[in-house]
Amino acid sequence: MVEYQQKDRYAIGDLVDIVRLLRSEGGCPWDREQTHLSIKSDLIEETCEVIEAIDLDDKALLREELGDVLLQVVFHSRIEEEENTFNFDDVCDEVCKKLIVRHPHVFGEVKADTTDQVLKNWDAIKMQTKGQETYADTLRSVAKSLPALMRAQKIGKRAMRAGMDFRCAEDAVACISAEKSELDRAIAAGDTKNIEEEIGDLLFSCVNAARHLGVDAELALKASTEKFIKRFAVTEELVSAEELDMKKLPIEELDVYWAKAKNIIDSEENQND
């Protein structure tokens, strides 16, 4: 057991101390064994739980989940402190300096009265501070670990800032049809490798269209997936109510139940509106 005086209220310094104690010889065996690699998925999971709390508009849950994300930051910083590379204070120092440098319209003499001006300044400063010499460098710097839709949308946005983009939303939407035609030809030819490539192009064109229409592709797909689950559940309930087995029904009959489920859900949603 380690010595630690418990308090009625804690602050960031206390969190740093607690993590240090957990990683110490007298602390927790599990915490001592962890590395960046062993807990990297935890950071993703905790971040997703923050998003969930935001979507639920649950303030208490958001407070809790933000704390869990902060714990991950402190924990990773502690691992590096033990290696004498950097500590949590260094992390705070670097992000503060970055914010000051990238907001010269607030902390300096640069004038930026609109969001567009701010973003142009931000991009120029970011390229300079990160040693990015070309627009292609800015695209390559987008993390490959991001979800594919999110990464595609971000890369499309950066290409737009370099002048490489569709003229309008209509052109972006038209590209979907063009890519669909190419996919149809690949399917007709039975070219498996090309089919995969064309499906990727079709998805990328959908992301570009979403961006031009002011839609977040990641959130749009998430909402559609949830909608599918909801309709599937009602379809299953309708089938089960007639003591039937979904797996044994032809797709044509399942489509009938699916249409009924859609009508039920649409009716309920209209009543709630």
CB 54 within 8 Å of CB 62:
yes
Query: CA 266, CA 273: separation in Å to the nearest integer?
Result: 11
Give helix then strand counts, H and E, for the chain: 13, 0
Q: According to the model, what pLDDT value does residue 273 have?
A: 66
The pair of structure tokens assigned to 46 is 């905790």
Q: According to the model, what pLDDT value does residue 217 have?
A: 93
Say which DSSP state 167 is in.
S
For 202-221, what is each residue's pLDDT tens digit? 999 999 999 999 999 999 99
Which DSSP string corresponds to 195-261? HHHHHHHHHHHHHHHHHHTT--HHHHHHHHHHHHHHHHHHHHHHHHHTT--GGGS-HHHHHHHHHHH
Q: According to the model, what pLDDT value does residue 1 have?
A: 66
For 244-262, what is each residue's pLDDT tens digit? 999 999 999 999 999 999 9
Q: According to the model, what pLDDT value does residue 117 have?
A: 82
The pair of structure tokens assigned to 242 is 């007639």
pTM over the 0.75 mark = no
Q: Which residues of the chain have pLDDT under 70?
A: 1, 273
CA 252 to chain CA mean position, Å: 36
Q: According to the model, what pLDDT value does residue 267 have?
A: 86
For 236, what's the count of Cα atoms within 13 Å in the CB-facing half-sphere?
Answer: 7
Q: According to the model, what pLDDT value does residue 79 have?
A: 97
Furthest-apart CA atoms within the chain: distance in Å = 73
Report the chain's C-alpha Rg in angstroms.
Answer: 25
CB 169 within 8 Å of CB 224:
no
Walk me through the domains of the chain, giving residue ranges and CATH numbers: 12-99 (1.10.287.1080), 140-215 (1.10.287.1080), 219-272 (no CATH)
Which DSSP string corresponds to 53-80? HHHHT-HHHHHHHHHHHHHHHHHHHHHH
Q: According to the model, what pLDDT value does residue 132 have?
A: 82
The one-letter amino acid code at 147 reads: P
